[in-house]
Amino acid sequence: MSLDTPDNKPTSKARAARKAPASKAAGAASKAGAASKAGAANTAMLPAQYKAFTDTLLTVLSGNLQARVPKELVGEQGAEMAHLLNQVLDNLAASEHRKQVSAQEIDQALDSLIGLVREGDLSRWNTTTEDPQLGPLLEGFGKVIETLRTFVREINEAALRLSSSANQVLAASTQHETSSTEQAAAIHETTATMEELKHASAQIAENAGSVARVAEETLGAARAGRGAIGEFIQAMQQIRSDGVAVADSIAKLSKRVERIGTVVEVIDEIADRSDLLALNAALEGSRAGEAGKGFSIVAAEMRRLAENVLDSTKEIKNLITEIREATAAAAGAAEASKSATESGEKLGAVAAQAVEGILAGVQETSDAARVINLATQQQRTATEQVVASMAEIEDVTRQTTQASKQATGAAAELTQLAGRLAELIKRFKAD
């Protein structure tokens, strides 16, 4: 920086300023010397008086401006001259003092400026002057420095705020980056899940399709079952009416058999009587002797016939008994069959109702499966759309992540810059 280069100028000026009073003083002294010479020329001056003047002037010339011509030494003649000379010296001293004061003030101002330039310290500017010539200059400097102070203060504040804002931006963009990374991961997971969902819905659609097929088959089977049950009920009714006919036939058969029984009883009675008659005839023939022999043989034959009849009727009776038992059993069986067919009909009706229920249920199942199939197909389409959208979102998120990374980098750089700025601005001390 070129802040150091103007360093020599103020000092040279100061030196120039310091030389000036010395030459002036020399001037003044020479004047005073001339005046005192003129006074001496006009009036005759005593050597002692002269010496007092010269000593005083020599002392003044050596730098002591406080030196005055002692009035008691000069006497009456030199008093006025001494008084004038002393006045001159007084003015000279005052002027010198003023010069010194202003030089000090200028030095102070220069020191402040040097401090400002070297260390950026604006706080040390506190210079005032009574010098009417320097006053406006210093006042102008003061105004400039005050403005600079305000600037530095504001810049400092702004840099601090910028730094904190940049930090916040960095934090925010870091967080944003993290969350967009998380978002990307989440979107990826979501996409995977949606893929799975798609597969699952395809599976569901397939299953629903097979359920619908099975339900269709079940429907056919249940319809066949309904037909079969209808036929079963008809067959049961047929069996029942047949059973009633059988029971009637059995009752008729039973009556017939009873009739046969009575007829057989009659035949039996007749055969028994025939047996007795044949026996007695044989006895008669036997009593008739040789003449009745043939008669006896015929009678014996008749008796054998009657006995045959009796054997036959006995067999018939046994058969009738068996038939009676059999018909009783058949009647019981017919009765049992009747009640069984009745309960069979009832069961058939119940089964028909159940099959109707099954039919309705299977119809509903089939419809529901079809609806599920459609819905899952729609769901699959929707899922595919969602997957596509998710892919787009993933792309966008990747871009966002990229952008937020860049933003984070930029924010970091910004933070660094803000820190640097704050560092730089710290060099300027405002307060």
Partner 1 sequence: MAPDRAVAVQARPEQEFFCFRVGDLRLGVPSENVLEVLRAGLLTPLPRTPSFIMGVTGHRGEVLPVVDLLRFLSKGEARIGPRTRLFVGISGSYVAGVVADTVLGLRRIPVAEILPPPLGGDASAEHLLGVVQGHGAQDSINLLNFSKLLQTARQRAVAR
Q: What's the closest the beta carbon of residue 261 comes to partner 1, in angstroms? A: 15
Judged by CB, which is closer to partner 1: 51, or 293? 293
Q: What's the closest the beta carbon of residue 323 comes to partner 1, in angstroms? A: 22
Judged by CB, which is closer to partner 1: 280, or 385? 280
Judged by CB, which is closer to partner 1: 117, or 300? 300
Q: What's the closest the beta carbon of residue 251 comes to partner 1, in angstroms? A: 30
As given in the structure block, the two tokens for residue 192 are: 């995977």
Judged by CB, which is closer to partner 1: 281, or 418? 281
Q: What is the CA radius of gyration of the chain?
A: 78
Separation of CA 86 from chain center: 99
Contacts with partner 1: how many residues (CB under 8 A)? 14
Q: Return the SS3 of 427.
A: coil
Q: What's the closest the beta carbon of residue 260 comes to partner 1, in angstroms? A: 20
Q: What's the closest the beta carbon of residue 282 comes to partner 1, in angstroms? A: 5
Using CB under 8 A, which residues numbered 131 to 190 contact partner 1?
A: none
Q: Return the SS3 of 122.
A: coil
Residue among 208, 215, 282, 306 that touches partner 1 (CB under 8 A): 282
Judged by CB, which is closer to partner 1: 162, or 282? 282
Judged by CB, which is closer to partner 1: 22, or 297? 297
Q: Half-sphere exposure of residue 80, counting CA atoms within 13 Å on the CB side?
A: 6
Q: What's the closest the beta carbon of residue 280 comes to partner 1, in angstroms? A: 5
Beta bridge partners of 429: 121
SS3 content of the chain, % helix, strand, coil (to 5): 90, 0, 10
Judged by CB, which is closer to partner 1: 150, or 318? 318
Q: Report angle CA 233, 234, 239 to the nearest 5 degrees.
A: 95
Q: What's the closest the beta carbon of residue 324 comes to partner 1, in angstroms? A: 20
Judged by CB, which is closer to partner 1: 280, or 402? 280
Using CB under 8 A, which residues numbered 283 to 312 contact partner 1?
A: 283, 286-287, 289-290, 296, 300, 303
| Residue 18 to residue 112: CA distance in whole angstroms | 19
- CB–CB of 421/232 below 8 Å? no
As given in the structure block, the two tokens for residue 389 are: 């959208």
Q: Is 384 in the site for partner 1 (CB under 8 A)?
A: no
Q: What's the closest the beta carbon of residue 294 comes to partner 1, in angstroms? A: 14
x/- string (CB under 8 A) for partner 1, residues 251-280?
---------------------x--xx--xx
Which residue ranges make up the site for partner 1 (CB under 8 A)?
272, 275-276, 279-280, 282-283, 286-287, 289-290, 296, 300, 303
